[in-house]
Chains A and B, each alone.
Chain A
Amino acid sequence: DTAVSQTPKYLVTQMGNDKSIKCEQNLGHDTMYWYKQDSKKFLKIMFSYNNKELIINETVPNRFSPKSPDKAHLNLHINSLELGDSAVYFCASSQVNFGGAEAFFGQGTRLTVV
């Protein structure tokens, strides 16, 4: 069973469209994250969310929004897509309140905006 799964794996879309990426974890973790990985492999935290708190990286445009229907899911919605949004987006999860717990990552979603 896949621990953290994302769909779709590839997403090609036109500028101006709205799209969503889904993420589910079956590890029973308290906290989920979204990271953006650019072409140079740099990982930038976008959001951190548990059932009590949403932490937003203030550099993330408000066109990006996380939606969590329950503890096991954290979806990423993107409005009015721009060329610069092209990247690989990773969902991850971990136990909160335990700094020694590692993060588990999904396989990534490669978003291409044309």
Chain B
Amino acid sequence: GDSVTQMEGPVTLSEEAFLTINCTYTATGYPSLFWYVQYPGEGLQLLLKATKADDKGSNKGFEATYRKETTSFHLEKGSVQVSDSAVYFCALRASGGSYIPTFGRGTSLIVHP
């Protein structure tokens, strides 16, 4: 079945450091890929998405590129802020079948001033 693998956290960075959170996936066909963010005490919200190979999703300084050849969708940000501290989830939705979103285990990011 479909699956998403994320790097384990927590990831701890100083403010203005470069961020990479790795995500790889297994799916048949051509899934859509997503990054969600969960701030403490809140639900998940969409951060960015890409629906086909080589697409780049971007939002709030975060970027991720859909790489079909490496089945990856790594999240990057050039300069993190304390307010970026949250849990980040990589997810996919299959291009057919039940369309149920499948999530990775989440990566906690802690940014220190």
Interfacial chain B residues near A48, Cβ < 8 Å = 98, 100
Rounded to whole Å, the gap between the CB of B38 and the closest CB of chain A is 7
- CB-CB under 8 A from B91, the residues of chain A are 103
Cross-chain contact A102 with B42 (CB below 8 angstroms): no
Flag if A90 contacts B93 (CB, 8 Å): no
User: B105 touches which one: A35, A42, A45, A99 (CB < 8 A)?
Assistant: A42
Q: Which of A82-114 contact B (CB under 8 A)?
A: 90, 92, 94, 96-108
A99-B95 in contact given A41-B87, A108-B43 (Cβ < 8 Å): yes
B26 interface residue (CB < 8 Å to A) = no
A43 at the interface (CB under 8 A from B): yes
Do B106 and A102 touch across chains, with their CB atoms under 8 A apart?
A: no
Q: Which of B12-20, B45-53, B68-76, B77-85 makes up part of the contact surface?
A: B45-53
Q: Can you name the residue of chain A whose Cβ is closest to the Cβ of B107?
A: A41
From B34, B36, B96, B100, contact of A33 by CB (8 A): B100
Task: Point out residues on A near B: beta carbons under 8 Å.
Answer: 4, 31, 33, 35, 40-43, 45, 48, 55, 90, 92, 94, 96-108
